[in-house]
A = this chain, B = another copy of it.
Amino acid sequence: MNINEFLERGEDYYLPNLSIDLVIIGLHDEKLKCLLLQLGDKWLLPGGYIGQDESVENAVQRALVERTGLETPHMKFLAVFGDKDRQFGDELKNLSTKFGPSWRDGYWLNNRFVSLTYYSLVNFENSHPVARGFDAYAWFCFDELPEMWMDLKSIALKARNRLREDIKYEHVAFKLLPDQFTMPELHHLHEVILEEKLDRSRFQKKMLSAGIFERLPKRLKESPGRNPYQYSIKTHLF
């Protein structure tokens, strides 16, 4: 569906009052960052709507591809955001030049939306998002999020907090790293996510005892010094 058809006739295609918002998390410059799209002066999470003849699961994958060009394997459910006043409101109206002739009373994009939110961890270097139909995309540090529409900032922050909880119980953080990584890299990543120091040798022992990482040959190096083993996740996990 092109952008004009979406703006003009979206209500014929999508379930009303129900939206999807996606928090895409990457690691860049030793910081956790979140992928946002610009709409007017403010920013949005990538997201979309659910086709009347489409499963929610399918809509999530489609929205991800349509809005970002990414094809992350797995979006994880985050939460339902269901406040009664979740709508763009007058500020969207002020963007009506952008929406061209679409804006009108009861315009479908200005309805109340209950949002189903999901999040995903991606490898920043392998992710090449595009800003389809939007002014721009950018990655923002969670501590320096720009002004965002509606309650989207709290959705983004909830995902960051969920990630902090998840890594206590699940091995997921490695998804933020390249396919091959060292234990010092994994250790540092956990410190970044948790925002606290972790004892390096205890961390490494715990990770290796899980039996899910496969040791690979050391990286070829030209300079002297420490040269830790590379690891990858064992494929049978997937």
Contact = CB atoms under 8 A, between A and B. Distances in A.
A56 B114 CA distance: 8
B82 A80 contact: no
B53 A84 contact: yes
A169 B114 CA distance: 29
B77 A56 contact: no
Interface string A54-65: 111111000000
A84 B53 CA distance: 6
Interface size band for A:
20 to 34
A62 to B, nearest CB: 13
Interface stretch (A15-23, A120-128, A136-144, A221-229): A15-23
Nearest to A57: B82
B54 A84 contact: yes
Interface in A49-107: 50-59, 77, 79-80, 82-84
A79 B77 contact: yes
A116 interface: yes
A112 interface: yes
A84 to B, nearest CB: 5
Given A56-B114, A114-B56, A169-B169, A50 B82 contact: yes
Nearest to A14: B17
Q: How many copies does the complex hold?
A: 2
A52 B112 contact: yes
A83 B116 CA distance: 14
Contacts of A112: 15, 52
Interface string A12-55: 00011110000000000000000000000000000000111111
A53 B111 CA distance: 12
A22 to B, nearest CB: 14
13 contacts: A15-B16, A16-B16, A17-B17, A51-B84, A52-B112, A53-B84, A55-B82, A56-B82, A56-B114, A57-B82, A59-B82, A77-B79, A80-B80
Given A16-B16, A169-B169, 18 more contacts: A15-B16, A15-B17, A17-B17, A18-B18, A52-B112, A54-B84, A55-B82, A55-B83, A55-B84, A56-B80, A56-B82, A56-B83, A56-B114, A57-B82, A59-B82, A77-B80, A80-B80, A82-B116
